[in-house]
Structure formats: structure tokens, C-alpha cells
């Protein structure tokens, strides 16, 4: 499949596909949008569940949400029975929020057939499709995937600092305009207001429409308007940032949908940059 997104119709038709690994990647905390609150937890039938703040987070890191180690990743995806030829579909209970981060983790660790359910659980529910009251706890048989983190998929502050004046590297920040301009307080203590010098601002809500992503043509236009020189195939490296590395993956995925390929995540994002007094702030 050419797109990193799948529709609810596609998922409905493939729920019995033996290669399907359906995973709920919801997070407990939602920042930057009004959260959808459920009366009781529900899942799409056949769903497994992953913990982006626990088993798929390097809790030994000083970063708030740090990429998992290769060992962590390998252990978790094997528990879920994921094989190299699995069709992995990720979703979350906010429509589009944390599933893109799970998508980027799996893609960065070497899995190729990884997709996000466009609209997630809210879209599934809005269409009156079946749900269950509990996820699948563990796969019948262990998977065989071994994590191998691609060296250019995740960046740190040293890389961003080194490329502040590099016209071939663009940093795109998914936080709200008010936070980007230090007109609204940061939600985390000890983090300065403002943004990385020369970075661009694309609030993640601007690539969404309802529970879903905007059409690919509109996303392409959004990135074109953000900076006319940022078009697919021009050799630019797009580095995505946000508050702590979660919503950055929403606009990273939007860029992929729009046709961009040279993509990476500043995993520490503003929580890391804004709390380091040695780094410049605009």
C-alpha cells in the first residue's frame, strides 16, 4: 500500500487477515487538544495494546518521552507476535494523536508494513462498527522481529544545534502558535518559552479535519505554504519537534502522506531544548 494510512473500511475487511497485527497505542495524557473522554474503555476487535510511556519508552533516559532501546522494542513486538511480514495497523482513542508516534517507532526500528488507522477509534465508533470490552493480552506465538534503529530517524539537540543555519535542514514545530511565540506558558515546569531559532511552526491541529487527516492534496499545499522551498525531492531533511516528541509525529506523518521522505524526529523536542539554558531560544 502506497499510503501510510488505512481507512476504517479497509480495516473492517481485513480484521480476519492472518497477517494483521492491530494495536491500540492510546496514551493516558493528552496535551494540545481537548481530549475525548469515554464512559468505559472499548477496543476494536482483535486489538493488542502497547504502552508508549512504559514498555515502549526508555525510562532510563532524562527525556520525558524517549525512544525505546532496541532491546525494549524487540521484547515488546515479539510479545505481540509481530513478524517481519505482519501488516501492523496502529490506532488511538483520540482519532489521531499518539498512534503516529507508535508508527514512527516501529518504522524507525526497521518494520516496513506499518500503518495508522485514519480517524482511529472515534471514527470507528462514529460509523457504528463493532467493539469489544478488553484487548488481546498476548499473542499465541512469539514474534521474530529484531529492532534495528535507523541512524537518521531520531535526532538530538546536538544535531539540531549544529544545523541551525543549514538551509538543507528545516525544523518544524507542532506546538500551538501561542506556545511557539512564548505567548502561552509551557505545561512543564522549568521549560522556557519560545522556539528553536529558525524553526517553522505548524500546529498539529492544522493537518487534521475532524478525527482524520486532511486529504493528501491539502497537506501538500499546507507544507508548500509553510515554506515554498520545502517540496519533495529537493534534498531537505525535515526534523519534527513539539513539546515532548508525541504530536511532532502527527505532522511528520502528515508530511509522509504529502509525499516527503527525508524525515526525522527531534525526540527530546521542546521539553529537552527549552530546559537546557545553554541552548539558544527565539
Q: Supply the mean pLDDT for the chain.
A: 95
How far apart, in whole angstroms, are the C-alpha atoms of residue 134 and residue 48?
9
Alpha carbons 166 and 170: distance in angstroms, whole number: 8
pLDDT, position 2: 85
Q: What is the pLDDT of residues 158-202, one digit of tens each?
A: 999 999 999 999 999 999 999 999 999 998 889 999 999 999 999
Q: Which three cell numbers stand for residue 33?
A: 487538544
Whole-angstrom distance, CA of residue 245 vs CA of residue 256: 17
Name the DSSP letter for residue 34: P
Taking CA 97 as the corner, what is the angle to CA 256 and CA 177, rounded to the nearest 5 degrees? Answer: 80
Instruction: List, for residues 69-82, the tens digit of each pLDDT value.
Output: 999 999 999 999 99
Residue 237 vs residues 132, 172, 199: alpha-carbon distances, Å: 42, 11, 13
Catalytic residues: 242
Buried b (16+ CB within 10 A) or exposed e, 73-83: bbebbbbbbbb
Q: Which pLDDT score, from 0 to 100, does residue 72 have?
A: 94
Average pLDDT of the residues in 247-260: 97
pLDDT score of 228 more than 90: no
31-35, 37-41, 199-203, 233-237, range with the lowest pLDDT: 233-237
Q: Region 235-242: what's the mean pLDDT?
A: 94
b/e per residue 120-145 (b: at least 16 CB within 10 A): bbbbbbeeebeeeeebbeebeeebeb
- Check if the beta carbon of residue 45 is closer than 8 Å to that of residue 102: no
Check whether 62 has a pLDDT greater than 80.
Answer: no
- Residue 105 clears pLDDT 80, i.e. is over it: yes
**What percentage of the chain has pLDDT greater than the value 70?**
100
Of the candidates 83, 20, 16, the one whose C-alpha atom is nearest the C-alpha of residue 48 is: 20
pTM of the predicted protein model:
0.96
Amino acid at each position: 500500500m502506497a499510503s501510510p494510512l488505512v481507512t476504517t473500511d479497509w480495516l473492517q475487511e481485513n480484521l480476519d487477515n492472518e497477517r494483521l497485527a492491530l494495536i491500540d497505542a492510546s496514551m493516558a495524557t493528552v496535551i494540545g487538544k481537548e481530549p475525548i473522554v469515554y464512559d468505559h474503555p472499548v477496543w476494536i476487535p482483535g486489538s493488542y495494546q502497547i504502552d508508549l510511556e512504559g514498555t515502549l519508552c526508555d525510562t532510563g533516559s532524562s527525556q520525558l518521552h524517549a525512544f525505546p532501546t532496541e532491546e525494549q522494542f524487540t521484547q515488546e513486538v515479539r510479545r505481540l507476535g509481530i513478524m517481519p511480514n505482519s501488516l501492523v495497523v496502529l490506532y488511538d482513542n483520540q482519532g489521531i494523536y499518539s498512534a503516529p508516534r507508535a508508527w514512527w517507532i516501529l518504522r524507525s526500528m526497521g518494520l516496513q508494513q506499518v500503518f495508522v488507522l485514519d480517524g482511529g477509534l472515534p471514527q470507528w465508533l462514529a460509523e457504528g462498527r463493532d467493539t469489544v470490552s478488553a484487548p488481546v493480552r498476548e499473542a499465541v506465538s512469539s514474534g521474530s522481529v529484531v529492532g534495528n534503529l535507523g541512524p537518521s530517524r531520531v535526532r538530538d539537540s546536538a544535531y539540531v544545534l549544529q544545523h541551525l543555519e543549514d538551509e538543507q535542514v528545516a525544523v518544524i514545530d507542532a506546538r500551538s502558535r501561542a506556545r511557539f511565540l512564548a505567548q502561552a506558558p509551557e505545561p512543564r515546569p522549568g521549560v522556557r518559552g519560545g522556539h528553536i531559532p529558525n524553526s517553522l511552526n505548524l500546529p498539529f491541529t492544522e493537518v487534521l479535519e475532524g478525527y482524520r487527516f486532511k486529504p493528501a492534496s491539502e497537506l501538500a499545499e499546507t507544507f508548500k505554504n509553510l515554506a515554498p522551498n520545502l517540496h519533495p525531492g529537493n534534498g531537505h531533511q525535515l526534523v519534527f519537534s513539539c513539546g515532548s516528541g508525541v504530536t511532532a509525529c502527527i505532522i511528520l506523518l502528515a508530511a509522509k502522506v504529502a509525499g516527503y521522505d527525508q524525515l526525522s524526529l527531534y525526540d527530546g523536542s521542546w521539553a529537552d531544548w527549552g530546559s537546557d539554558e545553554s541552548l539558544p531560544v527565539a
